[in-house]
Structure 1
Amino acid sequence: MYPNLYFAIKDLFGISWPPLRFVNSFGFFVALSFIAAAITLTKELKRKQREGLLHAREEVILIGKPASPTELTLNFILGFLLGFKLVGLFTADSALTANVQDYLMSMQGNLPAGLIGGLLFAGLKWYEKNKRKLPQPQEKKVRIWPHDRVGDLTIYAFVFGFVGAKIFNSLETWNDFVRDPIGSLFSFSGLTFYGGLICAALAIWYYARKHGIGFWHLNDAAAPGLMLAYAIGRIGCQVSGDGDWGILNSAYITTKTGKVALAGPNDFTQTLQQYSQVYLPQFGSLDKVPHLSVKAPSFLPDWFFAYSYPHNVISEGAHILDCNTQYCSQLPIPVFPTPLYETLSCLALFFVLWGLRKRLTIPGTLFAIYLILNGIERFLVEHIRVNTTYSIFGFHPTQAELISAGLVIAGVLIYFNRKRRGVPPPRTATDDVRVG
């Protein structure tokens, strides 16, 4: 496992560069997922524009105006945070920055660097606006295409997606939230994908409505990118070992040297008892530890079915023999690497959606297919994942199972509703050109 890029670069290329310790592997792949989604969204919006399905919107902007107090304040805050935290990463005591996520959410930092950064950013904004200042500010009409707003859409998706992921994760881990509500909400750990998806979707719906972007065309344009982003994000879960893995595979055990080996007749039970301190806090009883015995076929490696997540970022499991670095834990009994399964399946589903995007001409139908495929994929993988369950009329579904089932139902309803409405008549460019 590579909790941060320092360990990855050192292991793969033999290069030791300490600043890379501050680049979290999970966050790195999340950033890549947003970039990939933005690229595919831009490409699809431009295609729809060329086909006359989306049009520009004229807006009036004011040019030649000096920097406002709000602009200067926002730039000062941004510069202050960057200086306060980023410079602090390199100047603070190493004990404070050992866990980068906790450090970023703490009150620790470099105050002089923050003040200098804030003044620098505010000064640059003042200089930029002052250089273009006119004696009398003028109104100017500009034509803005939907693909010009991808940056704003990405920011909306990131901010509201993060908030939604934290809220839904708090609902899923309610006891932890009650115990430490502030720490739970403002920690980088514990993110629920579907919570992020729902809140981001609502925010983007509002943004599209406000700026006159065809909502169903926008959904169709985003669908392949959403599937690709999820696949890339799951790489971060797999690489960092963030705890989002499957149930135990009782056909294998992990040796003290970190190797995965086939379990003997009593090895599974003995290993559970030997490392009861690892499993009892989570499951309450060793009899309640979920597991499944599956041996890898000869044409696939064992780690594809049983992985011990050595050096995982959450330090869960037992200590690795002769390990003296920051992350020295591995799972005593390997688990199913579900993030890897989701990466592979969602990559395949991305290409399915990419191939369908020009064939499904009724707006909204591609997005409906995305909801159905995404829901089925997640519902299936939940059967071999460790997750919190609810008790509903004798059933014990997980939060993800409930939401994924809802997505499948919603996708089916949307698909047939959009099919019933048919293809809308083509519009001219002037239909979407508004002055506002």
Structure 2
Amino acid sequence: MLANIQPLDRVFLELGPITIYWYGVIIGTGVLLGLFLAMRESERRGLPKETFVDLVLLAVPIAILCARAYYVIFQWDYYSKHLAEIPQIWQGGLAIHGGLIGAIITTVVFAKIRGLSFWKLADIAAPSIILGQAIGRWGNFMNQEAHGGPVTREFLENLRLPEFIINQMYINGEYYHPTFLYESLWNVTGFFLLLLLRKINLRRGELFLSYIIWYSIGRFFIEGMRTDSLMLTDTLRMAQFISIVLIIAAIGIWIFRRTKGLAKERYLD
């Protein structure tokens, strides 16, 4: 019976020589939905409707390049021998932390050129980013990657998972932890938490910092379950290290901005 379990088709559509993969479709869906939400919120905050369209057109390509570069750098032993595979992002291998770095730098420059507050843009974008990450993890699901260690089928059934998820977690003769799902659910929870925090009227920048803290806490623990992590040392995963740095940095920036009077404006001002 197990031998008959077939993974879901990674290909969404084939148009002659052009192959469109589910991985790209899912990530693209996350980007578009996030953009739609950010556009609605930016209008409510008094920004021109096209502000986030212009930002996304710059930030998304740069974020993808940075996400791939980050992954390739830490897997250079492999990619140095397989240079032709470096552009093949449809196979997976986009590091979210690399993408975040690229997106943040792009937004800082964009805000400076447009004469806008980086923190205002970041607060508006925070729920969109974490929702996009939640959706994007299903691209990993289709590629059967970003999973945890081996488990039994009974374990997965006890989680009350639908059959298609259980079957997709059957890889090379074993079942695995669906860590993609754990992180997706954590991010969806974070999305609704950020929507609630909007009503509290935090000081400017603190909604974005809340996103950084929430995402990093979940990523630290879920990353510890994965089997395909980029490793910093024999025991510490790179994503765990970055998560710790981000949590400390976000809390430090939060305190610094308040004590120095740099966070007088509030999100809803």
Q: Common fold, TM-score beyond 0.5?
A: yes
Summarize the alignment of residues 10-409 of structure 1 with structure 2, pairs less than 5 Å apart: 19=15, 22-49=19-46, 145=48, 147-180=49-82, 182-188=83-89, 189=91, 190-238=93-141, 240-249=142-151, 252=152, 260=153, 262=154, 295=155, 298=158, 300-301=160-161, 308-309=168-169, 330-386=171-227, 387-391=229-233, 396-409=235-248
Is the 1:38–1:150 Cα contact (8 Å) retained in structure 2?
Answer: yes
Give the CA deviation at 1:336. 0.4
- Which runs of at least 4 in structure 1 moved beyond 3 Å after TM superposition? 18-21, 295-299, 301-310
Matched, 1:413 2:255: no
Q: Deviations over 1:408-433 (max 9, x none)?
A: 1121112222333242499xxxxxxx
Q: How many residues are paired up?
A: 255
Give the CA deviation at 1:149. 2.2
Distance change in 2, residues 1:243/1:301 (3 Å): closer
| Larger gyration radius, structure 1 or structure 2 | 1
Is the 2:206–2:254 Cα contact (8 Å) retained in structure 1?
Answer: yes
Report SS of the residue matched to 2:200: coil
Q: Considering only aligned residues, what root-mean-square deviation do their CA atoms show, in Å?
A: 2.6
Is the 2:144–2:169 Cα contact (8 Å) retained in structure 1?
Answer: no
Distance change in 2, residues 1:171/1:148 (3 Å): same
Distance change in 2, residues 1:302/1:233 (3 Å): closer
Paired AA for residue 27 in structure 2: V
Give the CA deviation at 1:404. 1.2
Paired AA for residue 66 in structure 2: G
Is the 2:157–2:166 Cα contact (8 Å) retained in structure 1?
Answer: no
Report SS of the residue matched to 1:334: strand
Q: CA separation in 2, counterparts of 1:305 and 1:409?
A: 35
Q: CA separation in 2, counterparts of 1:296 and 1:34?
A: 30
Q: CA separation in 2, counterparts of 1:416 and 1:369?
A: 13
Question: Which TM-score applies when normalising by structure 2?
Answer: 0.85
Task: Please name the residue that 1:68 is paired with.
Answer: none
Task: Flag structure 2 segments of 5+ consecutive residues without an equivalent.
Answer: 1-7
Is the 2:26–2:138 Cα contact (8 Å) retained in structure 1?
Answer: yes
Tell me the percent identity. Answer: 25
Q: CA separation in 2, counterparts of 1:154 and 1:378?
A: 24
| Structure with a larger share of its residues in helix | 2
Give the CA deviation at 1:23. 2.6
Is the 1:5–1:23 Cα contact (8 Å) retained in structure 2?
Answer: yes
Q: Deviations over 1:216-261 (max 9, x none)?
A: 11110010000000001112221x1242211212xx2xxxxxxx4x
